[in-house]
Amino acid sequence: MKFTTKSGFGAAMLAAATLAGLSFPQPAAAQLFLTPPDLKPGPIEPNDPLVGLPTPGATPAEYRANLLWNFRAGLNVAALQCQFSPFLRVVPNYNGILAHHSEELAAAYTTLNNYFKRINGPVKGAKAFDDYSTMTYNGFSTLQAQLGFCQAASNIAKSAVLAPKGQLINVAMQRMRELRNSLVPMFDQSTAPNNPYAIGLQPIPSLLDQCWDKNDQLKPACAAPGS
């Protein structure tokens, strides 16, 4: 089952409902790394280029709508890509966000739709918004960074679904940088080379016949370094 990438708010709501019944999730811990990667979290302004595609000439309200719509799109993609672990609860949490914050998301959709019509005209504006939506979804698709993205999106979605109505934009401003940074491949530090906590392997001695005596004991001269 897939979401339709070229969709409006109503279609996104319908597609989410097909994945799971709308319900309000309970907080749940999920950890895909022994040591969580540093995603350099921090607040972000709605007009920051890191948010997503450029929206030249946007008003402050339109920048906020753009941030919120990109934030929703990222969690939407996570609901599709991160179902490999039920502990992440990406589908029920995303459905909960759509249900709990429906009015705020619908307002962002209307604001963005009007922005593209204002900038491009009523006919070209609809096509521009459609293209924007597709590219926004594609911008969150990842394979090499899937684990980091899924863990970040799962944690962020829990905060989003618990936020009071009308305050989803505040969560987006606090967590969008983290969500974007999670698209860069991350590796578990606990298994990095030279990590003092990494599990070491015993050195392998030489298997040459001349290195073993008649009792099948390794001769000291052939002992592997560090053994």
DSSP string, the chain: ----SS--HHHHHHHHHHHS---PPPP----S-SS----------TT-GGGSS--TT--HHHHHHHHHHHHHHHHHHHHHH-TT-GGG-HHHHHHHHHHHTHHHHHHHHHHHHHHHHHHH-HHHHHHHHHHHHHHHHHTT--STTHHHHHHHHHHHHHHHHHSPTT-HHHHHHHHHHHHHHTTS----GGGSTT-TTSPP-PPPPP--GGGB-TTSPBPGGGPPTT-
List the pLDDT tens digit at each of the 227 positions of the chain: 333 333 444 444 434 433 433 333 434 445 555 566 665 777 899 999 889 999 999 999 999 999 999 999 999 999 999 998 888 899 999 999 999 999 999 999 999 999 999 999 988 999 999 999 999 999 888 777 788 889 889 989 999 999 999 999 999 999 999 899 888 876 655 555 545 445 555 667 777 888 888 888 888 888 766 55
* pLDDT for the residue 215: 85
pTM here is 0.67
